[in-house]
Amino acid sequence: MFVRQTVQQRDTAGMKADGSTASCGELQPREPELWRLTRAAVLAASAAVDRHLETGGWRPRCRLGTVRAFDSGWPHLTGPAFAADDAPVEYSALIGSKRGQLTPIAYDDVAEIAALLEYVRSRQELRARLVPRPDAASGERLDRLIDFEAAELPLSLLDRSKAIGETSDEELLALYLERERAWLLDPLPFEYVVPLTLTALDLQEPLVIDANIRLEPLDDRSQAARATSTSLTLSSVPDTVIGAATHAIVLGNRQLANPGPGPRLLGVADGPLDLSDADLVCEALRIVTHVDVGYAQVLRRPLGWADDWKFDLPRLTQITTLRRYPDHFDNYGWLRRPNPIPRQVLDLLQTVVQALRTAKPNVRLASRRLSLAALRDADDDRTVDACIGLEALLGEGRDELRHRISLRAATVLATRPHEPANPEAIYTAMKKVYDHRSAVVHGAPGDRSRTIKLGEKTWTADAVAIILLREILSDALTRPGGWTAQSLDVALLAALARPADGEGTTDHSE
């Protein structure tokens, strides 16, 4: 087998948590001859472009994203349509397959690059990994594809080493190993980075939720890197919504099959996009806070490998964009000031996420319905979703829903350890929610029941339903020992008992 597991274990040993590599130390290339030829090509290419620039020749520039901020404070990212006049020089753009006006140096003008290309063409194992479909091209066309991918190996090292100021042999080797892994390592370790759009967190450092999930702030370099990943395809998500994120959910311990960079270019290695853990975190956030949350952009962060780099930025590849956020975010949400979720609330996430992972089906259903309600645009749909969640938590078969669920809701919130609620107020609010639900599902005019007056304040029925579901779901996941619909009935009956005499009998006369 061309790539061996023992080599994979050796190569990944030097990786840091952020995907960069530690000092090379004992790490060695699995292809020593490829490294020798690549090193020589990098040094020769560097000398060639330096000679060109010294004559005042053409200077191609890097196209880098810009990171600004709206007056509200939300980030405003702009993708790189054109390179700025003062942007860093993109040295590799001076070298191409043929000499021309914009590529004054050809591959054949640098003997060391020509030697590397000849070596790669002679290795059948490498050829098969560098082209998208080896069976679809032959002869000169196939060689051109191989030459382009092979030349990118030293040219990408040239750009990166100059960008970060690391040009010693040891530093070049560390960069080479990242590119070599992208060619040869199978599988490739990576993380998903899912920015939380228009969702501010009071969090200055990474917060570990479990072994596979953490929250982390997005620094300026990460923001610039994801700005450069703007999709070239049409998207239903506004760029301003994609950019307006200060923190991200990071999903770790992922692996990508690697038949080679060529086949991966066509997505041959991509499996189904599993974002269930990201959805789980969003569910937990909706349970512990009233703040709307969601995400739109999904990025991949390689760990210890790289197909290429953009100047000195961290490697982030956009995988897709999705509308996993409330529709009202599109309505200039980036112009409204952030309302950060407090740190003490975020500290509950580890408990709530773990509880959701092991929760009974009815609790998981209630959690999903809370999220569906939060993402709905129509009030009626939000009410129905919230009521389905409440029925999952508090219902029991074909009982009289309105009365019994109202009693159980009152029992839950009146007996919670912290801030017990007024049971009569909860009972009344729940009954009114169900009046509106009944009007919605039976097609009756629902205007009368659309609003609910509680004390001196008037609320919409969907808002009351979501608040009740959130509070009850939070209690179900965090109360020691938990509860069931049946245990609520027992607790209610026990509370109604009145000792009539010293023998402990119960008087039901009142």
Average pLDDT over residues 122-136: 80
The two beta strands, 295-302 and 105-106, are unpaired
With pLDDT > 70 as the criterion, what percentage of the chain qualifies? 86
Q: Answer for the pair 126, 143: CB distance below 8 angstroms, yes or no.
A: no
Q: Strands of 341-460 (E only): list them.
A: 451-454, 457-460
**Is pLDDT at 351 greater than 70 in this prediction?**
yes
Kindly indicate the confidence band of residue 395, based on its pLDDT and cuts at 50, 70 and 90.
Answer: confident
Lowest mean pLDDT among 219-233, 406-420, 441-455: 441-455
What is the pLDDT, as a whole number, of residue 331? 94
Looking up tokens 């700025």 gives: 84
Lowest mean pLDDT among 88-97, 130-139, 219-228, 323-332: 130-139
What is the pLDDT, as a whole number, of residue 442? 66
Q: Answer for the pair 434, 399: CB distance below 8 angstroms, yes or no.
A: no
The torsion of the CA quartet 46, 52, 53, 54, rounded to 10 degrees, works out to 110
Lowest mean pLDDT among 234-238, 256-260, 264-268, 454-458: 264-268
Largest CA distance in the chain: 107
Higher pLDDT, 449 or 388: 388
In whole angstroms, what is the distance from residue 194 CA to residue 310 CA? 20
What are the extents of the domains in the chain? 5-68+85-184, 188-350, 359-496
In whole angstroms, what is the distance from residue 127 CA to residue 125 CA? 6
**Is pLDDT at 236 greater than 60 in this prediction?**
yes
3-state secondary structure 296-335: EEEEEEECCCCCCCCCCCCCCEEEEEEEECCHHHHCCHHH
What is the pLDDT, as a whole number, of residue 337? 94
Six-digit token pair at 454? 């509680």
In whole angstroms, what is the distance from residue 69 CA to residue 227 CA? 13
The phi and psi torsions of 15 (rounded to 5 degrees) equal -85, 140
Cα distances from 415 to residues 329, 412, 421, 426, 472, in angstroms, run 36, 6, 8, 12, 11
Q: Answer for the pair 379, 462: CB distance below 8 angstroms, yes or no.
A: yes
pTM of the full predicted structure?
0.84
What is the pLDDT, as a whole number, of residue 510? 35
In whole angstroms, what is the distance from residue 301 CA to residue 57 CA? 36
Tell me the per-residue pLDDT of 84-94, one tens digit each, with 9 for 90 and over: 888 999 999 99
Which DSSP state fits 338?
A: P
Which DSSP state fits 134?
A: G
Average pLDDT over residues 24-33: 77
Higher pLDDT, 231 or 41: 41
